[in-house]
Amino acid sequence: MGAAIAEPFDSFFYSRTGNPTVSALEQKLASLEGTEDGVVAASGMAAVAIATLISARSGDHVVVGEDLFIISRQFFEEECPDVGIDVSFVDITDLDAVRRAVRAETTAIFT
């Protein structure tokens, strides 16, 4: 292999797997929020998927506000069931409806 792709790779070998500008933003946001780390996504839909898939696994359940961007709704209706995540849509402004939707296997409420 040529020197350009020889291992060990540094953390910014390929921009899609690591980028110094994105890393700096993640670190700054984490610092401002008082957390250990942060994740910056390229789109809102990527953020929706990341937040959901780190919060729920196959067999888990999420409660989702019914008033959603259409692509987010499609993710919850089609993609989540494909990986075994059960989804209940509720009027998120109705706290009693949210409480009724929560069950033992609920791991997240997405609003």
Give the three-class secondary structure for 87.
strand
DSSP letters along 90-111, please?
E-TT-HHHHHHH--TTEEEEE-
Separation of alpha carbons 15 and 105, rounded Å: 37
Long-range CB pairs of 14-22 (<8 Å, 24+ gap) are none
pLDDT in tens, 22-56: 899 999 999 999 999 999 998 999 999 999 999 99
Peptide bond into 8 cis (omega under 30): yes
Predicted structure pTM score: 0.77
